[in-house]
Amino acid sequence: MRYINTRLNKLIFAIGCLLSIVIFYCSFIYAKNHVDNIDIDVAIHDNGSATITQRWTGTFDEGTEIYIPIEDKSLIIKNFKVWKSNREYLSADGWDVDWSFDGKKWRSGINYTDKGVELCFGISEYGNNIYTFTYDVDPLVKSYRDADGFNFQFVNSNMSIFPSDVNLRIKLDDDKKLTTDNARIWGFGYEGMTAFSEDGYAVAFSTNPLFNRDYMNVTLEIFKGMLNPNVSVSENFEDTVLKRALEGSSYKEVIEAEDSEATKEVIEAEDSEATAFAKVILGIFGLVFLSGIAKIVSKIKRRMSLKRFYKETNYFRDTPNGGSILMTNSLYKDFDIWKNKETNVIGAIIMKMINDGNLKPLKEKSYGFLGREKESTSLKVGKVPKDPLLRELYDIIIQAAGPDNILQENELKKYAKLNYDELVNYLDSLDTKGHNELHREDCYNKIFGTKLKDLTDKGKSELSEVYGLRKFLDEFTLINERSITEGVIWEDLMVYATLFGIAKKVLSELKKIYPDRLLEIEKMSNTYYVSDIYFRSLYYYTLSARRAANVARAASMAAQGLGGASSIGGGGGFSGGGSGGGTR
């Protein structure tokens, strides 16, 4: 009996030790910082340099700083700036990783290493945070003999924290749009997709969380004539950059299989087509050349005409187009003179509903493993909007929110996966509805147009309200008559600042002009950030769900760079990025 009790005590002791180790280990793992989303916007300039903006959303409860290694000494990294919510960090001349938490608080800087640089900034406050930081990279795009392009690492491998979702958008300056007619894109190192969006962006995004050795490398090939990079390479992009990136990737297997099948067909067809091709090539070349010249001249004339119209437009300090957000959205996009600024019509609609009490932002607390507290922002459904435009999105939100009428980001993601057709149709319908409203108001001289002459006098009047409001929002700090701006209902105008993509700028200027109204401005800032979070969620989750539903078909397209599934492996020979990063 004594022997049995001794063995039982030893067994209980062993089990207790094992449970203690498991609990300690799980607590250790859970205590690490976590990033829910990384949103990356890349603006490529004509000379091949680029401005990269990253937005990190997550929980940060350990360490003193966030850092991103860029292990490439051939790149010039400059103009590094950081914001948390609306507060801009102080840029330090140097950076010491051994500074204390308080020493790094609200400060950012560049740490120079043997391999390159580290972009660093203080965590500043523990808890749920949103950090936004920008920096310039020169060069991102290089000129090769056959094309311009890059293979760049936007998310490093072996980071201390990995994002659940990564969304990357790449655009060009001016009115140039990236499409399958002028570019190719490949994604490496993550489970996800690549695509060309309807508004002219090259897009890459994850469909599963990144872990350990995962990374996001993107190779983008841009056809000649789109850019004028400062840095030239006397090699072919396809034979060097692309070939190396494809090594070890799933793309290469697809390409080799298709090439084997296609080779036989090509050989059989070449002889019969050669003679006919020679006869028509000169004629086609002449037509294409003349057509291209005519398009360029027409484009320049259109832009000059719109700029003159904008210059002559007076300030407009009220809600434009009778309050029709869709009319404003269509006019702003079709008669754009701001180098293809993206319209955030979904964010504007959400902000309008929050202002009207149809939606209410909520700070929610939840408890996870070991009772750890986590805070998130949700949207509670309020009164039903009367405007049919608002009602349509309101009904979608009700369906996504479920019985409790409180929408969380994970619920929106789940809804998008199951109902992506409905959401795609909704997003695609907004432009059509805006054009239909313009037709009903007799704003067009013909069915549709993007030139000033295509608008009736009524249409030009409506456009002048859009231009006038944009001009007022851009220049209101220069107006000497302070009473004019004080009479404006800024909550209403912030809806349009959001649509125009200049809400951050307007909020920053308001703080300078009205330091005595910071509480009111901060409330507007919070409304904007909530609307921006749910706009991005709806946009990316819908796009992700639509692409994920066509993965099989996308494999061939992706291998050709036309968009589709990314490759888990490959992506070698990249610039930028490196190994490590996260928090420390």
**How confident is the model over 428-457, as pLDDT tens digits?**
888 889 988 999 999 988 777 788 888 999
pLDDT score, position 20? 47
pTM of the model: 0.53
In a domain, 268, yes or no: no
| Structural domain that includes position 466 | 321-541
**Is there a single domain that holds both residue 242 and residue 384?**
no
In a domain, 550, yes or no: no
Whether 66 and 126 have beta carbons less than 8 Å apart is answered as: no
DSSP 387-442: SHHHHHHHHHHHHHH-TT-EE-HHHHHHHHHHSHHHHHHHHHHHHHHHHHHHHHTT
Higher pLDDT, 263 or 68: 68
pLDDT in tens, 449-491: 788 888 999 999 999 999 999 999 988 877 754 444 555 788 8
**188: CB partners within 8 A, 6+ apart:** 215, 216, 217, 218, 219, 245, 249, 566, 567, 569, 570, 571
**Is there a single domain that holds both residue 215 and residue 337?**
no
Least confident of 121-130, 200-209, 295-304, 319-328: 295-304
**Is there a single domain that holds both residue 332 and residue 189?**
no
Average pLDDT (370-374) is 61
In a domain, 136, yes or no: yes
CB atoms closer than 10 angstroms to residue 364: 13
Least confident of 27-31, 42-46, 73-77, 237-241: 27-31
**202: CB partners within 8 A, 6+ apart:** 169, 170, 171, 178, 183, 185, 194, 195, 196, 218, 220
528: three-class secondary structure by DSSP: helix
DSSP 351-384: HHHHHTTSEEEEEEEEE-GGG-EEEEEEEEE-SP
* Entry field: residues in the chain: 584
At residue 351, what are phi and psi to the nearest 5 degrees? -65, -40
For residue 388, what pLDDT band results from cuts at 50, 70 and 90? confident
pLDDT(3) > 50: no
In a domain, 512, yes or no: yes
Taking Cα atoms as reference points, which of 340, 374, 294, 325 lies closest to residue 497?
325
pLDDT score, position 23? 41
pLDDT(70) > 90: yes
In a domain, 416, yes or no: yes
Question: Which of 203-212, 254-263, 361-370 has maximum average pLDDT?
Answer: 203-212
In a domain, 417, yes or no: yes
pLDDT score, position 544? 67
**Count of CA atoms in the C-beta half-sphere (13 A) of 141:** 28
pLDDT score, position 80? 96
Higher pLDDT, 306 or 256: 306
Mean pLDDT of the chain, nearest integer: 82
82: three-class secondary structure by DSSP: strand
pLDDT in tens, 498-521: 999 899 889 988 888 888 888 888
**Is there a single domain that holds both residue 215 and residue 339?**
no
pLDDT in tens, 523-581: 888 888 888 888 877 777 776 666 655 554 555 666 677 777 888 888 888 988 888 99
Whether 413 and 541 have beta carbons less than 8 Å apart is answered as: yes
Sheet of 65-70, strands arranged across: 90-91, 107-112, 117-122, 65-70, 582-583
**Is there a single domain that holds both residue 475 and residue 579?**
no
Chain centroid, CA 391 distance in Å: 26
pLDDT score, position 338? 81
pLDDT(1) > 60: no
**Is there a single domain that holds both residue 485 and residue 340?**
yes
**Is there a single domain that holds both residue 150 and residue 97?**
yes
**Is there a single domain that holds both residue 207 and residue 356?**
no
Domain count, the chain: 2
**Is there a single domain that holds both residue 234 and residue 332?**
no
pLDDT score, position 418? 79
Least confident of 138-147, 333-342, 353-362: 333-342
Whether 333 and 348 have beta carbons less than 8 Å apart is answered as: no
For residue 25, what pLDDT band results from cuts at 50, 70 and 90? very low
d(C-alpha 341, C-alpha 329), whole Å:
12
In a domain, 561, yes or no: no
Whether 120 and 133 have beta carbons less than 8 Å apart is answered as: no
Least confident of 219-233, 301-315, 317-331: 301-315
CATH assignment of the domain containing 164: 2.60.40
d(C-alpha 334, C-alpha 307), whole Å:
14
Whether 562 and 221 have beta carbons less than 8 Å apart is answered as: no
**Is there a single domain that holds both residue 239 and residue 347?**
no
Least confident of 201-210, 298-307, 430-439: 298-307
Sheet of 50-60, strands arranged across: 87-88, 76-84, 127-138, 50-60, 34-44, 163-172, 202-206, 192-196, 564-565
In a domain, 30, yes or no: no
**Is there a single domain that holds both residue 417 and residue 326?**
yes
Taking Cα atoms as reference points, which of 378, 375, 372 lies closest to residue 128?
375
Average pLDDT (186-203) is 90
**Is there a single domain that holds both residue 572 and residue 506?**
no
